[in-house]
Amino acid sequence: MKHFLLSSAWLFIFTFSLSNSFACTNFIVTKGASKDGSVMITYAADSHTRYGAIAFYPASDHLPGSWCEVFHYESGKLMGTIPEVPHTYSVVQFMNEHQVAIGETTFGGIDSLASQPGAILDYGSLMRIGLQRSKSAREMIRVMTELVDEFGYATGGESFSISDKNEAWIMELIGKGKYEKGAVWVARLIPDGYVCGHANQARITTFPFQKNNNWNDSKQTVYHSADVISFARKLGYYKGDDQSFSFSDVYNPLKFGGARFCDARVWSFFRNVSQEIRDNMDYTAYVTGKFAHGSKLADQSPNPNGYVSNRLPLWVKPDSPIALKDMMARMRDHYEDTPLDMRNDLGAGPYKSPYRWRPMEFEVDSVMYLNERAVATQQTGYSFVAQSRAGLPDAFGGIFWFGVDDADGCVYAPMYCGISRIPESYAVGNGSMISWSETSAYWTFSQVNNWVYSRYNVIHPEIEKRQSVYERQFVAETTELDQKAAEIFKGDAKAATEYITNYSVSTGDKLVADWKNFYRYLFMKYHDGNIKVTEGDHLQENGFGKNVPKKPLQPGYGKEWERIMIQGTGDRLKIPKGEL
* Rounded-to-integer distance, Cα 478 and Cα 398, Å: 11
* Rounded-to-integer distance, Cα 340 and Cα 405, Å: 23
pLDDT score recorded for residue 2: 34
pLDDT score recorded for residue 7: 34
pLDDT score recorded for residue 228: 98
Q: What are 204-212's contacts with CB under 8 Å, separation 24+?
A: 204/170, 204/172, 204/246, 204/247, 204/248, 204/314, 205/246, 205/247, 205/248, 205/249, 205/297, 205/307, 205/311, 205/314, 206/243, 206/244, 206/245, 206/246, 206/297, 206/301, 207/247, 209/242, 209/243, 209/245
pLDDT score recorded for residue 298: 81
- Which element (helix H / strand E) includes 401? strand 399-404
Predicted confidence (pLDDT) at residue 14 exceeds the cutoff of 60: no
Mean pLDDT of 37-45: 98
pLDDT score recorded for residue 486: 96
pLDDT score recorded for residue 45: 96
pLDDT in tens, 254-282: 999 999 999 999 999 999 999 999 999 99
State the angle between helix axes of 456-491 and 441-454 in degrees (0 to 180), rounded to the nearest 10: 150
pLDDT score recorded for residue 16: 36
Instruction: State the pLDDT confidence band at 23, using cuts at 50, 70 and 90.
Output: confident
Instruction: State the pLDDT confidence band at 297, using cuts at 50, 70 and 90.
Output: confident
State the DSSP string of 338-372: STT-TTSSGGGTTTT----PSPSEEEETTEEEE--
Q: Is the pTM of this model over 0.85?
A: yes
Predicted confidence (pLDDT) at residue 88 exceeds the cutoff of 60: yes
pLDDT score recorded for residue 5: 34
Q: Is the peptide bond before 549 cis (omega within 30 degrees of 0)?
A: no
> What is the 8-class DSSP label of residue 69?
E
The domain limits of the chain are: 9-370, 391-429+464-519, 530-580
Share the mean pLDDT of the chain. 94
* Rounded-to-integer distance, Cα 417 and Cα 327, Å: 19
Higher pLDDT, 184 or 21: 184
Predicted confidence (pLDDT) at residue 507 exceeds the cutoff of 60: yes
Instruction: State the pLDDT confidence band at 11, using cuts at 50, 70 and 90.
Output: very low
pLDDT score recorded for residue 9: 33
> What is the 8-class DSSP label of residue 177?
T
Predicted confidence (pLDDT) at residue 230 exceeds the cutoff of 70: yes
Q: Is 76 helix (H, G, I), strand (E, B) or coil?
A: coil
Predicted confidence (pLDDT) at residue 12 exceeds the cutoff of 60: no
Mean pLDDT of 235-258: 96
Share of residues in the chain with pLDDT > 70 (%): 96
pLDDT in tens, 405-433: 999 999 999 999 999 999 999 999 999 99
pLDDT score recorded for residue 580: 81
pLDDT in tens, 43-87: 999 999 999 999 999 999 999 999 999 999 988 999 999 999 999
Q: Is 235 helix (H, G, I), strand (E, B) or coil?
A: coil
Predicted confidence (pLDDT) at residue 515 exceeds the cutoff of 50: yes
Predicted confidence (pLDDT) at residue 132 exceeds the cutoff of 50: yes
Mean pLDDT of 31-48: 97
pLDDT in tens, 528-569: 999 999 998 899 999 999 999 999 999 999 999 999 999 999
